[in-house]
Structure 1
Amino acid sequence: MKKIHLKLGVLTLVTAGLIGTVSCSSDDHNYLTKVDIEIPGPEGPEEPSEGAEKATIKVEIVSVEEESVTFKLATTHAEKVHYLIEKKGVEVTVDQVKEQGVVVEDATAEQVAEGLEPEQEYVLYALAINKEDVITFDAKGVSFTTKKALDISLIISDVDATHERVIFTITPTGAVKMRYMVVEKSAMEGREMTAEEVMEEGFSIIKVDGPSTLKPKVTKPNTEYIIYVAGISASDTHLIVQEEVKTKDESEAPVDEELKVMTQMNFVGDEVGHTVAYDLYMSNDQWDVQFVVAAAQADEDILKEGRYIRNASQGLGRPGADEVGKSFQIKNKQTGDLDTDIDYGEIRIAKTSATAYKVEVDMVRKTDVTKRFKAVFEGVPVKGYPRP
């Protein structure tokens, strides 16, 4: 309501439909006074009274994905907050936001809106209402564009660790090439790893058409690591995903089985494409053990020193350079039983003199990663297949 002020003579009487006039002598005075009359104003929301602060609201976009957006709201003096997301170019009114929008339960938390379309321009409108139902609304809104739909997906799962290894499964969709890195978390403070870095510096993941379980060795127990996996699709789209893991304490180290000391070793080398594959035959009174390792730029007749790795995800067939082949044999000669419970590990070959070697086998079990198959040969290996 608005107030207007009229000046009226004290001897003038205003009545409904009747005006009366009273004559006065020349000694009388016409005094003026103010009378407040309230008349109705135009309809609409009232301005807040002096005791009610007007609400404020600010929207900050945190991140945008293919089908979702994450944003923050900063408000003051707001009793209620609503938001509405519409495609760019669609006219939106304050009434639509209030009636059709999402009612925010906790304006201090990050908000996530899902169900959007990839590669689409949107505008986010938000309003705040103070305790007297006065609305604050920015009709321009905040614009954003969702990401292009990716033709590649990478999922890291089943993350675990021992005191010296991290263990994880990677499940790709649409990848034509993948690599991974495991980096100490402390080394990544203040920076972000990129897909390009992993694809350039990481280790290859051979299998791209299904899940692979990897168990790479790390250097420190009781330490936080970040697993990075990057992949490239057929359209050259790059993607990187990550998970964190902490290695166990040394007190939780695997319990090794009894070390099997081998008394004889034979080897045979076979060169194909500048890579020599060595068949290693080790034996004693109880065991016959056979593994295959491969070395680049090597001599068929001379064992090449080095560390040869067997990965859980490695394919069958001839191993690549510095690898241990998937095919192996561990036979108990006394019982005739074959040991097939080998998942991953390594073989180390080192010279101890001009002709003598030390060959160490250290393999981790599939059924229990806390247990190992370990064997060692120290002596002069014999070139040629073992005698029948």
Structure 2
Amino acid sequence: MSIFSKTKSMFHLPEGVIYLDGNSLGPLPKATPDHVSNMLTKEWGDLLITGWNKADWMGQPSRIGDRIGKLIGAPSGSVVMGDTLSIKVYQAVASALDLNKSRKIVLSDNGNFPTDLYMVDGLLKSLDNGHELRLADPEKVEAALNEDIAVLMLTEVDYRTGRKHDMKALTAKAQALGIIVIWDLAHSAGAVEVDVAACNADFAIGCTYKYLNGGPGAPAFIYVAPKHQEKIRPALSGWLGHEAPFAFDIDYRPGAGIERMRVGTPPVIALAALESSLDIWDMVTMKEVRQKSIELCDLFIAQVEQHCPSLSLNSPREGTNRGSQITFKFDDGYAAMQALVAHGVIGDFRAPNNMRFGFTPLYIDEGDVVAAVKILANVLDNKLWDKPEYNQRSRVT
């Protein structure tokens, strides 16, 4: 049995469903219910509040952070878990601006995920000190870099198209101009090979409910380069980022290293679910995952272009230039995706006309790709999407 056949057997995959939406929400690992149940009954149930010490709930954010760190090339003690990705965006940008006080511009691209831009915009308005959020086309970010910019904040893999920024090159160019660099790895962690240390990233943030299969609402992570950890000022001075939380001092003193980026009480149950998924990740290397991902994506593109000529590729054709997702444009993409889901292939839709498909080798194989395209072709060729029920917009697309 190949390693990916083995990992596929470790996920709960509903009968008759081909799941190509792990880039939005990873499926349930079979071990997770028992792992969480054990935490609930043996730890919370039997230990009660003593679980904070006896089960080391308090150490979870850093302990699991180190496991995430192995997937993104971060050294031990540089990643901590907790809160949501939006909160981590706020923390990273606020701390980065504080490191570069003489400059006022945050640069991002107009393909960035909207919540990143919303959080920065809200932060800058709260600061009310002449700061500006400046946006460039993804392909023009490098040309937009200059010595007026304080912070460069980018999502490595575009959530719509899968287009991948060159993290190492852009970081080097920005830092040569005195810019602090933040990378959002929401569509990178568990999808592509990432080495934040080798790329010299200043900060990185990401979520764990997509490729890392931590479950809906799973906690986010933040990486801070070791060289910055003792200098940064936490904008969100939560009690668990305090040097001595249980001294209950009135004045805030930031904790040591990455611990100062903790905010509130850790989500112990959610972290337990994530922990069980990371056991599967311990079985593979990111090099193996990346190689297989490119093969699956290439196969999907070839199959779709052969059997579904009405769709137009909206992702880079070259595998090294994209993440682990493929997007095709179709004018009636929303309805077509709803029909596709109804016929057993789950992808998702992103406005204005993007049908998006994620490929995770941990549980997707070549047979799934070929079968999915066959169903997609049937939906398109027979206009199965052209029904009122498939045009009713749901709250989540």
State TM-score, norm by structure 2: 0.18
User: Would you tell me which structure has more helix in proportion to its own residues?
Assistant: 2
The answer to which structure, 1 or 2, has the higher relative contact order (CA under 8 A, 6+ apart) is 2
User: Would you tell me which structure has more strand in proportion to its own residues?
Assistant: 1
Q: Which has the larger radius of gyration?
A: 1
State TM-score, norm by structure 1: 0.18
